[in-house]
C-alpha cells in the first residue's frame, strides 16, 4: 500500500513536470506578448516591464527559471493583476471548490439514488422518469441549462412570486449556489445514474442476491446490505473523471452566473496572454486532478476487498 502510494506520487511529479514544460512552450508559441494590448508604451517602459518579469532573457533560460521557481512553490507574479499568482489562485479556488463540491455531492447522491430506483423499479414509470432525466442531463450542455434555469427559475418565477428565490447571478449566500450547482451537476448526475442503473440490474440478477433471498432477508435488507455496495463500485471508478468534468465545467458556469471563481481567471488569463497566470492555473488544475484520481483509486481499494493496491 505505502509502496503503491509512493509510486503514484513519483508518477504524479513526472506528469506535472511534463505538463509545466508543455504549457510553458505552448504559451510562448502563441503570437503576441502580454503588453500588446496596452496603448502606446514607450520602448524604455516596455524594456523595463520585460526586464521586471524576466521576459528579456532567452526563452530556455526563462524556462529554467520558471521551473526553479515552481520547485520552491513560487508561481510568479500575475502580469495583468500585478499580484502573486498563488494568492489569486488560493483566493478564487475556494469559491470554485465550494461550487464544485456542492455540484459533485448533488450529482453523486442523486445519481446513485435515481439509478438504483430505476433498476429496482425496472420497466415502471419510475424507471422511465429516471432515464428521461438522465437523457436530458447527458444531452443538454451546462451553459444552455444554466441559461434556461436563469430565465425560468430566476426571472419568470420572480415575476410570478414577487420574490427572489433563485438569484441568477453573483455569489455569497446559499441561495446563490442553487442554480449554478444544479446546472453544473446535472451532466454528471446523468452519467452516474445511467451507470448505476446498469450495474444495479447486474447485481440484482447475480447469484449472491439469490443466496441472500434464500436466507430469508427482506427486499430492503437485500438492497441495503448486499446490492448497494456492490452496485456502487463502477460509480466509484468513474469518480476521478467525474471530478475532472465538474471542475472544468466550473469555467463555463462561473462566467454565466458571474461567480468570482478560478474558472474566470483561467479563461481571461489566456485572452490576456498573462504567462504566469496561465502557467499557474494549469499547474494548479493539473495537480488537483492528479490528486483526485489518486484518492479515488485508494478509495476503490477500501470499498472492494478484492482490489489489491500493489505495484
Q: Catalog residues that contact another protein under the rule CB under 8 A.
A: 206-208, 210-219, 225-226, 229-230, 303-306
CB of 220 to another protein, least distance (A): 11
Q: Which is nearer to another protein, 211 or 258 (CB)?
A: 211
Q: Which is nearer to another protein, 237 or 255 (CB)?
A: 237
Smallest gap, in angstroms, from Cβ of residue 301 to another protein?
12
CB of 193 to another protein, least distance (A): 21
Q: Give the nearer residue to another protein in terms of CB position, either 82 or 205.
A: 205
Q: How far is the CB of 133 from another protein (least distance, A)?
A: 27
Q: How far is the CB of 237 from another protein (least distance, A)?
A: 14
Nearer to another protein, 52 or 210 (CB): 210
The residue among 228 and 291 lying less far from another protein, judged by its C-beta, is: 228
- Output the smallest distance, CB 203 to another protein, in A: 10
Instruction: Please give the Cα distance from 70 to 76 (Å, whole number).
Output: 8
CB of 215 to another protein, least distance (A): 4
Q: Which lies closer to another protein via its Cβ, residue 97 or residue 217?
A: 217
Q: For residue 307, what are the CA distances in angstroms to 7, 167, 204, 233, 246?
A: 17, 45, 21, 11, 26
- The pair phi, psi for residue 77, each rounded to 5°, is -95, 140
Nearer of residues 231 and 289 to another protein, judged by Cβ: 231
Amino acid at each position: 500500500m505505502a509502496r503503491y502510494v509512493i509510486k503514484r506520487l513519483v508518477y504524479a511529479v513526472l506528469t506535472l513536470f511534463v505538463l509545466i514544460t508543455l504549457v510553458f512552450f505552448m504559451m510562448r508559441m502563441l503570437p503576441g506578448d502580454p503588453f500588446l494590448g496596452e496603448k502606446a508604451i514607450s520602448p524604455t517602459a516596455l524594456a523595463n516591464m520585460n526586464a521586471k518579469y524576466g521576459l528579456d532573457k532567452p526563452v530556455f533560460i526563462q524556462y529554467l527559471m520558471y521551473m526553479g521557481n515552481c520547485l520552491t512553490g513560487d508561481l510568479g507574479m500575475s502580469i495583468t493583476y500585478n499580484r502573486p499568482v498563488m494568492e489569486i489562485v488560493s483566493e478564487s479556488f475556494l469559491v470554485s471548490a465550494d461550487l464544485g463540491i456542492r455540484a459533485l455531492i448533488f450529482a453523486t447522491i442523486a445519481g446513485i439514488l435515481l439509478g438504483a430506483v430505476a433498476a429496482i423499479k425496472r420497466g415502471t414509470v419510475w424507471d422511465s422518469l429516471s432515464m428521461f432525466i438522465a437523457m436530458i442531463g447527458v444531452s443538454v450542455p451546462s451553459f444552455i441549462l444554466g441559461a434556461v434555469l436563469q430565465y425560468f427559475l430566476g426571472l419568470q418565477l420572480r415575476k410570478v412570486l414577487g420574490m427572489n428565490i433563485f438569484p441568477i447571478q453573483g455569489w455569497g449566500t446559499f441561495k446563490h449556489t442553487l442554480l449554478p450547482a444544479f446546472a453544473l451537476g446535472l451532466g454528471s448526475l446523468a452519467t452516474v445514474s445511467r451507470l448505476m442503473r446498469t450495474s444495479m440490474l447486474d447485481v440484482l440478477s447475480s447469484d449472491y442476491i439469490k443466496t441472500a433471498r434464500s436466507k430469508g432477508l427482506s427486499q430492503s435488507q437485500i438492497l441495503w446490505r448486499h446490492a448497494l455496495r456492490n452496485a456502487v463500485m463502477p460509480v466509484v471508478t468513474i469518480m476521478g473523471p467525474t471530478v475532472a468534468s465538474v471542475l472544468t465545467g466550473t469555467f463555463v458556469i462561473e462566467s454565466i452566473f458571474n461567480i468570482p471563481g478560478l474558472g474566470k481567471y483561467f479563461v481571461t488569463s489566456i485572452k490576456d496572454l498573462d504567462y504566469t497566470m496561465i502557467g499557474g492555473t494549469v499547474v494548479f488544475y493539473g495537480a488537483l486532478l492528479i490528486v483526485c484520481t489518486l484518492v479515488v483509486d485508494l478509495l476503490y481499494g477500501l470499498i472492494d476487498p478484492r482490489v489489491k493496491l500493489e505495484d
